[in-house]
Structure 1
C-alpha cells in the first residue's frame, strides 16, 4: 500500500470533489495525510485521512475568499489570474513547503497530490521529493495550439482563422502579457534552489506532474491535438445522498406542472445582486417556480409568490426536479446539472467562470450571457429560449450520457 500526502486549496469547490477520491484511497488500504484549511478538519478526518493544517497565513479558515484577499474584488480576467497565482499561490510557497517538510519527516509519502493551485507541493516534488500528481478541479487550463489562452473565455475552433488567433493570442498572453508572472514564478523557484520553469508559467507548471487527472470528460472539455500523455479524464465527482437533510415545507411545490428554474451562485462569488436578484426580477411574472440557493434567511426581503429561497439544498435532492439552471458558472455545480441532463444559462466573469460559461456554449448545452451581472430581461429571455428550444436539453443529455460512463473516485484511485 502507498502513502499519499494531499494538499488541496481550502475552498468548498476544491474540497468537495476531492473528498470522494481520498475516501476511495483509504478504502483501498492506502495511507493519506491531507493538508488544508482548519475549517475542514472534521471533514478530512471523516474520510479516514490524517488532517494537517495549512499555515495560518495561507488559510482563510472560513472567511470569504474576497475578504481574505480583498484585492481580488476589483480584478477580473487575466489581472485576477495574475494576482491569484502571485499572491495566493507563489507567496505562500516558502511557508507551505515548511509545513510539507514537517509532515514528510514523520510520514514518508510515496506521492504528493495537489490541485493546480498547490505550487508549493509541485515545487517540493522537484526539490528531491516524491513524484507529483495533480487533480485538475477547474476547466482545464493546459495550454494548447488548439485553444485560446485560459481566462479569456474564447471558444476553440479548427479553421484557419481560429488557429491563427490561437497562435497569436497564446504568444501575446503567455510570453508578453504574463511574462512578468513567469519571472515572478522563477524568482520564487530560484529562492528555493530550483531551475527556471521549462517555458512560460502556465505551460511550465503543467510539465511538473507525472500524472494529471481531470474531473470531467471529453464531452465537456475542448479537444487538444497536442494533449499531454499524462492527462487522464476521470469524469465529474457526483455528490453522495445526504440522508439527514430535512426537506423544506414548500418541497411539494416542485411537483406542480410549471417548470422549475434553479438559480445558484455557488460558494465564492456570493453577491446576490450579480445573478440571484436579476433572475428573480426577470422571472417574477413568468409561469415558472424559481428556487434560489444559497440565500440566507431575510437576505432578500419579501419574495415574489413564485420564488423559494434557501441557504442550502443538496443538489442530489433538488436537481432531479429542475428544468433549467441559472448559474454564475461554478464548475462543480455546472457539471452536476449536466450530469442530470439539465440545460443552463450561465453568467460569470470572475475566477474560472468565464471558462465554464464558454464550455457550456461550446457544448451547446445552454446560453452564455457573457456578463457578471446580466439584466433581468436578459436572464428572462435566455431562460425562455432554453425552455422552448429542445437543442439545449438534447446536448445536456448527450453530456449526461458521457458522464455516466465514468466512476471518478475509482478511476482516480486506480
Structure 2
C-alpha cells in the first residue's frame, strides 16, 4: 500500500508522525513524507521518500497579517482571528496547491495528515483518497470561531465538499496520541478516535556527559523549545533553579544563543540542542514552555512539569496538566527567579504531582504502539 504522511513545516507538527511513518514502512508499505524543505535531511536520513511542500508557519502568519511583524497579544480577539486565518486559510491553501501534483504522481492509497495540516486533508478529499487525521497533542475544547468559515471558504474555492459540523479532523478517523483522560470530553464524543501511543522522536545524538554522570542530587531539564525561545525567561528560570540543590541542564534551542544567558552558575550547563527522548530517563523535573511534544514526552516518562508557556497551544497544555495535578504553571510576569525556585522545589521529590504523572505514564504505556496501529492502516484505506 502507498501512504503519504504530511505535516506542517515545524518540529512539533512533524516529529509526532515519524514513529508511525517508520512503522508503516517496516510493515512493507511504500511511504512518502511531504512537509517543508527544511526537514528534507531529517526525513531522508530515516530512509523515507520526501516531497517538499508548503511554507514555514511563520510565512503563514506574515501573509495573514499583511507582512506586519507585529503580532497581537496571545489570547486576544485579534490573535484568535489571526490564528484562524493562518491555520484555516493561508496554510491550507498553500499545502492543498503543493500536494496536488504529489498525490497525482505518487497515487497513494491513504493520506495521513496531522491535525494542524488541513491542506493535506483537503488535497486527499479532492483527489478521492481516504484520509486519516493524526493528532500532535491535546485538542482545544472548540475551534477558534473563525477557523471553520475560513477553511470552508478555501474548500469552496476549490470545489471540495466538506462534512457538516466540526472540522478539526475533517471528518476523518483520528489517531490520538494524547491520553484520553486529558482530552476534552466533547472532543472524544465527536470523533472516531483511535488511540496511538506517543513515542518521542528526535534526531540521534550523544547525551551531554553531565546528563549521564553519577550524581547525588536531582537533575532538572529546562527548555523553551524550538520556536518560542526567550533569553530573559530562560535567565530567570536558570537563576531560580540554580538556587536549589540540583543540577540544571538547559536546551536553549535555535532561537537563543547560549552566550545570551550571561555567566552561568556552576550547577548549570547550556546546550543548543539535546536528544530529549533519551535525556528524560535521567531527569527528575522538566521546566518548559508547554509544547505538545515536550509535554507528552514528560508525561510518558512520568515526570512532573513546571510550565512557562509562551504561545500557541502551550497555554492549554499547561492548564490541562496543572488542573490534573501533574505540574504547576507560571504565566507572563509571574516568571521570576523566586517564583521558579519555589514552584520547582514543590515539584521535586515524591510530590503528589509526581504520583499523578506516573499514573498518566501508565495510561500512555497501555495505548497501542505505532507498530500495532501500522497493522491497521489498510483498514482506513478501504
**Are positions 1:221 and 2:183 aligned together?**
yes
Q: Which of 212, 217, 242 matches 1:284?
A: 242
In the alignment, structure 1 residue 379 sits paired with structure 2 residue 379 = no
CA distance in 2, matches of 1:81, 1:31: 39
Q: Deviations over 1:226-280 (max 9, x none)?
A: 61351112121234794x51634x446x532222221111111111223x21111
Q: TM-score, normalised by structure 2?
A: 0.86
User: Which residue is equivalent to 1:263?
Assistant: 222
| 1:366-405 alignment runs, 5 A limit | 366-371=327-332, 374-387=335-348, 390-405=351-366
Structure 2 CA distance for partners of 1:198 and 1:71, relative to 1, 3 Å:
farther
What residue is the counterpart of 2:379 in the other structure?
none
3-state SS, counterpart of residue 189 of structure 1: helix
Separation of aligned partners in 2, 1:42 and 1:126: 29
Count of residue correspondences: 368
Structure 2 unaligned runs (5+)?
Answer: 377-382
| C-alpha distance in structure 1 between counterparts of 2:243 and 2:309, whole Å | 24
User: SS of the counterpart of 1:303?
Assistant: coil
User: CA deviation digits over 1:299-344, x for unaligned, max 9?
Assistant: 3121012211111221244222222111110111122122222111
Q: Tell me, yes or no, if the aligned pair for 1:328 and 1:346 is still in contact at 8 Å.
A: yes
Distance (whole Å) between structure 1 residues aligned to residue 352 and residue 158 of structure 2: 52
Q: Helix, strand or coil: the match of 1:204?
A: coil
DSSP-derived class of the 1:255 partner? coil
SS of the residue 2:348 aligns to: helix
Distance 1:8 1:218 in 2: 23
Task: Tell me, in whole angstroms, the C-alpha distance in 2 between the residues paired with 1:354 and 1:286.
Answer: 26
List per-residue Cα deviations over 1:29-76 (Å, max 9, x = no partner): 111222111121122223333211114xx246xx89988986474441
Are 1:356 and 2:317 an aligned pair? Answer: yes
- Residues 1:300 and 1:66: Cα distance change in structure 2 (over 3 Å): farther
1:59 and 1:370 map into 2 onto residues whose CA distance is 27
Q: Is the 8 A contact 1:80 1:351 kept in 2?
A: no
Instruction: Answer whether contact 1:72 1:80 (CA < 8 A) is retained.
Output: no
What residue ranges of structure 1 are gaps of 5+ in the alignment? 144-148, 151-173
Which residue number in structure 2 is paired with residue 134 of structure 1? 133
> What residue is the counterpart of 1:163 in the other structure?
none
What is the match of residue 198 of structure 1?
A: 164
Shift of 1:398: 0.9
1:122 Cα deviation after fit: 2.0
Residue 185 of structure 1 corresponds to 151
CA shift at 1:401, angstroms? 1.5
Q: CA RMSD of the aligned region, Å? A: 2.9
1:357 Cα offset (Å): 0.5
Which runs of structure 2 are paired with 1:251-330 in the superposition (5 Å)? 251=211, 254-274=213-233, 276-294=234-252, 296-330=257-291
Q: Which residue of 1 aligns with 2:18?
A: 19
User: Relative to 1, partners in 2 of residues 1:204 and 1:406: Cα closer, same or farther, differing over 3 Å?
Assistant: closer
Partner Cα distance (2:217, 2:135) in 1? 38
What does residue 161 of structure 1 align with? none
1:26–1:47 contact (8 Å) kept in structure 2: no
Instruction: Determine the C-alpha separation between the residues in 2 that align with 1:407 and 1:72.
Output: 43
Give me the whole-angstrom Cα distance separating, in 2, the residues matched to 1:351 and 1:373.
19
Relative to structure 1, the CA distance from residue 361 to residue 19 in structure 2 (aligned partners, 3 Å threshold; closer, same or farther) is same
Matched-pair contact (CA < 8 Å) for 1:66–1:72: no
Q: With structure 1 as the length reference, what TM-score do the two structures score? A: 0.80
Q: Distance in 2 between matches of 1:384 and 1:298?
A: 27
- What corresponds to 2:3 in structure 1? 4
